[in-house]
């Protein structure tokens, strides 16, 4: 079968769940203090997860690229 993209699940893929859990667990950041430069915690915590999410994605991306180059 040509064009089959058989991926395999690995432990590194659990890193993708970390930002998801951090955002879905609203009780962990449902507060206004501590504020940074007048920005309530609720907002800056969520914005902080944009770059953190990218950092959690990086090892998964590298593992996938390594796996893909090994198959070719």
Is 48 domain-assigned?
A: yes
Is 36 domain-assigned?
A: yes
Question: For position 10, what pLDDT does the model report?
Answer: 81
Question: For position 9, what pLDDT does the model report?
Answer: 74
User: Residue by residue, what is the 3-state secondary structure of 15-63?
Assistant: HHHHHHHHHHCHHHCCCCCCCECCECHHHHHHHHHHHHHHHHHHHHHHH
Is 2 domain-assigned?
A: no
Question: For position 7, what pLDDT does the model report?
Answer: 63
Token code pair at residue 37: 């430069």
Q: For residue range 15-61, list pLDDT tens digits in order.
A: 999 999 999 999 988 999 999 999 999 999 999 999 999 999 999 99
Mean pLDDT of 57-68: 88
Domain membership of residue 45 as a residue range:
11-71
Question: For position 1, what pLDDT does the model report?
Answer: 41
Q: Does the pTM of the predicted model rise above 0.85?
A: no
Domain count, the chain: 1
């Amino acid at each position: 079968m040509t064009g089959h993209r058989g991926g395999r699940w690995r432990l590194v893929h659990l890193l993708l769940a970390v930002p998801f859990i951090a955002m879905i667990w609203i009780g962990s950041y449902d507060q206004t203090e501590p504020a940074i430069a007048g920005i309530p915690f609720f907002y800056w915590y969520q914005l902080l997860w944009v770059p953190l999410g990218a950092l959690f994605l990086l090892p998964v991306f590298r593992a996938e690229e390594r796996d893909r180059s090994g198959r070719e």
